[in-house]
Amino acid sequence: MRSPVRTAVVLSALLTCVGFAACQSGDGPHAGSAEAHGAAAAEFERGPHRGRLLRDGPFALELQIFEEGVPPEFHVYLFRDGKLLAPGAAQVSVELTRLDQEVNRFDFAPQGDFLKGNGVVHEPHSFSVVVTAEEGGRSHRWTFDSFEGRTTIPTTTAESAGVRTETAGPATLKDTVVLTGRLVPNAERMRAVSARFPGAIREVVRSVGETVRVGERLATIESNESLETYALNAPIAGVITERHANPGENTGSEPMFVIADYGALWAELALFPRDLARVKVGQKVTLRSVEGGLSGEGTVLRIAPTEGAEHGAVSGVYTARVSVENKDRRWTPGLFVEGGIHIGESPVALAVKRSGLQGFRDFTVVFEQVTDTYEVRMLELGRQDETWVEVLGGLKPGARYVAENSYLIKADIEKSGASHDH
């Protein structure tokens, strides 16, 4: 696991270099234009409708992405010598080449005083653009880059900062019911230890909280009948949870010690009637400690009304008893836990890990990696579980996306100022 201190140091060093590219040689492959990193998004000339104004002699064309109350669409206004022309004065086409080399082509038809593109300009609005126009027997052509939510980072630099990518594809979502409760000793792994023969307690060598092995001496007793002493030994290995014996006392039929084997525990989870029909004996459970960061697996053993609530009528609460393996003794009785009971599974065609999700503008996004470049992908999301979230749109199957430490990519994009500006 990467040290948090080291990650913070690496992040600080990375963000010192604007967009990472500033760390590269000025004439190297990452030099690029200022606009490519969003630093000069406002430097291009704008037309009367705040779109990008493209000039070729006396002829000019204003290209606008219009997205007020409608899905983003291209509008084009035509000008000659600064005067607005009728939209039929030219034939226009726009070609967008995206990071993954997908090409979107738009043709235009007159609408009011402008030309309207024949499709939606899907997010992100990050592409290389070619605009062509045929006007008055003359051909015009412009090319420019309009990037947003994009940064270029050498692979070795990203990996050293802890950035990890995965491939978007099918996944199986787990349908869960989340319950809370606490750990208790497994009653089937406890032993009450009593004297074999009545007598006087001569010596007690173990106390509450101590761990004992099988056969280890707990106390010495002098038999009333034989007047001989014998050892009271531990029948199982475990922790002494109760002691009812002191030197000089006489033994009876009551237990002198109680020993619990914490190698297996129970989680007693509160189950409300609304979930009763969905939770069944045998279902798998993922357990987490409310504090301390522990996690583990278990199985539902029993479902019954909570003790003291006859048939659930008093409190309306049932108890789901879950087995918890504890061979390494990480868990302790009394610990409050949260249990996610797996009640079903749902396969989905495309999913990403929730750990890769970030907020960007008004969207939930991941960052797709293409060679050394990372770019935002606005997602349409569906169902989700603790690990996966279904993707309904915005990302192609097989795309590599940042699944761990995606906040580093977001921070670099925000520092470089890559904007949403048309």
What is the pLDDT at residue 41?
46
Is 170 in contact with 342 (CB distance < 8 Å)? no
Nearest alpha-carbon partner for 323 in 187, 418, 195: 187
Q: Is the pTM of this model over 0.85?
A: no
SS3 state of residue 104: strand
Residues 6+ apart with CB under 8 A from 153: 14, 20, 163, 372, 373, 374, 409, 412
Distances (CA, A) of 155 to 26, 380, 385: 19, 28, 30
Is 275 in contact with 264 (CB distance < 8 Å)? no
Looking at the DSSP assignment, which residues form a beta bridge with residue 51?
Answer: none
Is 290 in contact with 337 (CB distance < 8 Å)? yes
Is 92 in contact with 132 (CB distance < 8 Å)? yes
Q: Where do the domains of the chain lie, and which CATH numbers do they carry? A: 39-146 (2.60.40.3340), 177-185+263-345 (2.40.30.170), 188-260 (2.40.50.100)
What is the pLDDT at residue 306?
83
Reading the chain (422 residues) residue by residue, the pLDDT tens digits are 444 333 333 343 444 443 333 333 333 333 333 333 333 445 899 999 999 999 999 999 999 999 999 999 999 999 999 999 999 999 999 999 999 999 999 999 999 999 999 999 999 999 999 999 999 999 999 999 999 999 999 999 999 999 999 999 999 998 999 999 999 999 999 999 999 999 999 999 999 999 999 999 999 999 999 999 999 999 999 999 999 999 999 998 899 999 999 999 999 999 998 899 999 999 999 999 998 789 999 999 999 998 755 444 445 589 999 999 999 999 999 999 999 999 988 999 999 999 999 999 999 999 999 999 999 999 999 999 889 999 999 999 999 999 999 999 999 999 876 555 55
Nearest alpha-carbon partner for 91 in 150, 127, 140: 140
